[in-house]
Amino acid sequence: MVHHWPATVCKEVKDHCKDPPDYWTIHGLWPDKSEGCNRSWHFNPEEIKDLLSDMRMYWPDLLHSSPNRSLHLWKHEWEKHGTCAAQLEALNSQKKYFGKSLDLSKELALNSTLQKLGITPSTYYQISDIKDALVSVYGVVPKVQCLPRQGDEEVQLLAQIEVCFSKDLQLQNCMEPGEPAPRGPEARPPASLGLEICKDGVLFYPALNKTNH
Catalytic annotation on 176? no
Q: Out of 12, 77, 162, 196, which one is annotated catalytic?
A: 77
Q: Out of 27, 76, 107, 213, which one is annotated catalytic?
A: 27
Q: Out of 3, 81, 162, 196, which one is annotated catalytic?
A: 81
Catalytic annotation on 107? no
Catalytic annotation on 81? yes
Q: Is the dihedral of CA 54, 55, 58, 60 positive or negative?
A: negative
**Residues assigned a catalytic role:** 27, 77, 81
